[in-house]
Amino acid sequence: MKPSRRRRALLAAATTLALTGVGAGPAQAEPPPDAPEQIDNGDFSTGIAPWFSYGTGPLGITDGRLCATVPGGLANPWDAGIGQDGVALTAGAEYALAFDVSASPGTPVTAVLQLGSAPYTGYASVTVTAGGTAQRVERTFTVPDDNPSAQLIFQVGGSADEQTACLDNVSLRGGEPPEPYEPDTGPRVRVNQVGYLPGGPKNATVVTDATEPLPWQLRSATGAVLASGSTDARGVDPASGQNVQSIDFSAYRTPGAGLTLVADGETSHPFDISGTLYDRLRADSLQFFYAQRSGIAIDGELLGPEYARPAGHVGVAPNQGDTDVPCQPGVCDYRLDVRGGWYDAGDHGKYVVNGGIATYQLLNAFERTKTAATADGGTALGDGTLRVPERGNGVPDVLDEARWELEFLLRMQVRAGRPLAGMAHHKIHDRNWTGLPLAPQDDPQPRELHPPSTAATLNLAATAAQCARLYASYDAAFAARCRAAATTAYAAAKANPTRYASPTDSTGGGAYDDSNVTDEFYWAAVELWLTTGAPAYLSDLTASPQHTADVFHPRGFGWQGVAALGRLDLATVPNALPAAELARVRASVTAAADEYLTELDRQAYGLPLPGDAGSYVWGGNSNIINNAVVLATAFDLTGDARYRDGAVQAADYLFGRNALNISYVTGWGEHAAQNQHSRIFAHQLDPASPHPPAGSLAGGANAALQDPFAAQLLAGCAPMFCYVDDINSYATNEVAINWNSALAWIASFLADQGEAGAVPAATCAVTYTNHGTWQGGTGFTAQLTVRNTGATVVNGWTVRFAFTGDQKVREAWLAKVTQAGATVTARNESYNARINPDGTVTFGFNATTGGGANPPPGLVTVNGTRCTSS
């Protein structure tokens, strides 16, 4: 790159220090003129990334230079530094290190090329006394060891006085040019490496030059041919650039293990056909959140000894938070205790808008068990189903996990009496970016609260409203606290509707900016109405432009577009919408699902996502899953197996039926991602650090390639090939709570489908009648009438349904009624056990309630089978 006029002038004025050799050793040969450059963005023309700092003030660009304020009085040079990770070194190769450095008023600066983790082996270093005039420093050396991910650190601490240190034109030339990247795509027959449900769709993709249909065989683990047929030629797939053909072997329904598909001389990775394929994935995907917890020691007895660690960010040195955190300068004059919550992604930041959608999806996965016929009343998400410290407390474990984040979200709310009271701070994270790896308890950076935002406040309002209804039957005090926080936050957001997070506030953490919050207002109003039943919230949600808009984008929904969350809840959570309006809301879900099915059929790899580059974005795997969530919800609403099969088939892409033949979920599949970008799980950089735990979802193919590692390695990639399983690629291979929350939701749905057989027809109809309240609204009387619409006698019956909130049965008649949490179970008396065809049985009860919405239940089952409502 030709230097700018300012850069040329700076270079001409710089003092040049030429140093050779390592330490006081002999001089080394110069690298050849065409030696490759190993430093990314060394002239800072594209901003700060991927540079980070520690022990300094925020990094910034001043006159094209990277500068930071360094506090005085630091004891050692290494107590503050500016650096870059992922520097590739080749043993025995010659390198030339060069940089411009200045410091005001002046201080020694040491550049160290080293191993990026303990024991921090140094390969070369040079110290120069930097002053107000930039100096050009050059150094040649030979590297003794191979290291694909070394670290260059400029140590700027140790001065008695505060300094402003600046760098420019940083270069490290040498080593071998990178080999052209050729991903290991394995066999050309691409399958779901986990497997297929016996009654579900079974599809695979063959990469081939052939244009005519090819014969295929399904083989057992011993090589026996179980089924055969011909492929369907699909031509060139735009998303992958490959000529492909499809295999559909859905007609084969016999369970088996170690099966393979053979076509065009290739044999696929092995897979299973089983109705229990995804049972463990439900737990694995949820365990990720325990591994990401902040403010608590992680118990190796629960998660595995390699994941054990002390609590992070509880104010124990070298941590500087999160129990007493100040705001950024000029933002506020108070400090907050914001401990707890989940680390958002590969860094140690905690973001309310990302935490909001992640919390919603965990809560919604639980709430779905109240209304989905296949969910078995939530048995698989109950207490004791996860390895979390709270198991055995009588509360479903998924609610225990979600509460860890909810408590943090509540702590981010501005207290009464303060400016912007009721709003939520947008985020909290390190003042500066840190390098990899870095365990949470070892993070030395100061932590800061960032300004409150309307988007964050509405995320708090929405999730706290969910909390108020879902925790009411387990912890009334916590539910009341959530309700108060939700109503306060919503009012504060309405009073401050345009406080947007700054898109430039990205030093030390992501910006997560959003300047359109009509979707957040809609979602929050929906959740508050579903919880409280208050007419004001109904007025707000029906007046929102989002209420009649098409909120289901072909490319999926995410943290920046959450209107779909409100729509999905309106469609599924029991409520008092007029019948015609509820039908319209539900029809919008099935219409979107129909469009996703059409797209799925169009795509050669069978995913509900368009094949253009713009559809493959940062974290795009979660968008694919969220489209599958819409398909799954359409199935829950209608019982139409087409929607279930679409959601099931979408999972194939995640587990290996893709151009790279890789499972994007750690620990799942023959060839799975394991080097996701994370400071906590950094085995690729430090063998003492673990891989991400099983059930961790990689962000996935991202055609924008926003990180330098991926941009250099994958330039020109077809969209589906824009991914690399390397810890240095944060734009394609990071982990994040809102991606794993999507995985957890769909994993729970998939596990609930069992063998995915034919959907049974309803053989019962139920009428639920609320006869009204008593004692000032603190109680009500209701009855259920069940009609046998089948052709056979029912001899003995068990009716089950769930309340939406804190309703509690006090006494009942004509049935033996018990309640666990929000779930009510009624069993026949001896005298009314028999229900003849077209016969009915009725029972009633009195129940107490603290108030709020009290709609009829959305799902009533008789002997485990869903009844229609009448």
Q: Are 670 and 267 in contact (CB under 8 A)?
A: no
Q: Where are the beta strands (DSSP E) in 182-237?
A: 189-190, 195-196, 203-207, 215-219, 225-230, 232-237
Q: Which two tokens stand for residue 354?
A: 């990302």
DSSP 451: P
* Alpha-carbon gap, residue 144 to 132, rounded angstroms: 35
Which of 38, 48, 336 shows the shortest CA–CA distance to 173?
A: 38
* Secondary structure class of 372 (helix, strand, coil): coil
Which of 812, 800, 806 shows the shortest CA–CA distance to 846?
A: 812
Which residue is associated with the tokens 């309630």? 849
Q: Are 207 and 190 in contact (CB under 8 A)?
A: yes
Look at residue 181 in the predicted model and tell me its pLDDT.
87
Look at residue 623 in the predicted model and tell me its pLDDT.
98
* Secondary structure class of 510 (helix, strand, coil): coil
pTM of the model: 0.89
Q: How far is CA 135 from CA 18, 164, 813, in A?
A: 11, 15, 89
Q: Which two tokens stand for residue 126?
A: 């040079």
* Alpha-carbon gap, residue 288 to 847, rounded angstroms: 38
* Alpha-carbon gap, residue 477 to 474, rounded angstroms: 9
* Secondary structure class of 355 (helix, strand, coil): helix
Look at residue 46 in the predicted model and tell me its pLDDT.
84
* Secondary structure class of 654 (helix, strand, coil): helix
Relative to beta strand 135-142, strand 15-20 is parallel
User: CB-side exposure of 291: number of CA atoms within 13 Å?
Assistant: 28
* Secondary structure class of 82 (helix, strand, coil): strand
So which residues are the catalytic ones? 347, 677, 725, 734
Run of H or E including 272? strand 271-273
Q: Are 245 and 214 in contact (CB under 8 A)?
A: yes
Which of 412, 261, 234, 237 shows the shortest CA–CA distance to 336?
A: 412
- Phi, psi (5° rounding) for residue 487? -65, -40
Which residue is associated with the tokens 């048995």? 379
DSSP 307: G
Look at residue 14 in the predicted model and tell me its pLDDT.
30
* Alpha-carbon gap, residue 737 to 401, rounded angstroms: 12
Would you say the C-alpha torsion 741, 745, 746, 752 has a positive or negative sign? positive
Q: At what angle do helices 352-368 and 563-572 cross, to 10 degrees?
A: 20
DSSP 13: H
Which of 535, 799, 606 shows the shortest CA–CA distance to 204?
A: 606
* Alpha-carbon gap, residue 675 to 728, rounded angstroms: 9
Q: How far is CA 319 from CA 248, 322, 429, 603, 788, in A?
A: 55, 8, 12, 48, 64
H-type alpha helices, 496-640: 518-532, 535-543, 563-572, 579-602, 620-638
* Alpha-carbon gap, residue 289 to 741, rounded angstroms: 9
Q: Are 172 and 96 in contact (CB under 8 A)?
A: yes
* Secondary structure class of 125 (helix, strand, coil): strand
Look at residue 828 in the predicted model and tell me its pLDDT.
98
Query: Any residues with CB less than 8 A from the CB of 529 and at least 6 apart, and which?
Result: 537, 538, 541, 575, 853
DSSP 361: H
Look at residue 118 in the predicted model and tell me its pLDDT.
72
Which residue is associated with the tokens 């049935």? 815
* Secondary structure class of 114 (helix, strand, coil): strand
Residue type, 202: K
* Secondary structure class of 820 (helix, strand, coil): strand
Q: 142 forms bridges with which residues in the sheet?
A: 94
Give mean pLDDT in consecutive 10-residue pieces for the chain, a chain of 870 residues. 28 31 45 88 89 89 95 94 90 93 96 84 92 94 86 96 97 85 95 98 98 98 98 97 98 98 98 98 98 98 97 95 95 97 97 98 98 96 97 97 98 97 98 91 96 98 98 97 98 98 92 96 98 98 98 97 98 97 98 98 97 97 98 98 98 98 98 97 94 98 93 94 96 98 98 96 97 93 98 98 97 98 97 98 97 96 94
Look at residue 28 in the predicted model and tell me its pLDDT.
54
Look at residue 226 in the predicted model and tell me its pLDDT.
98
Look at residue 1 in the predicted model and tell me its pLDDT.
30
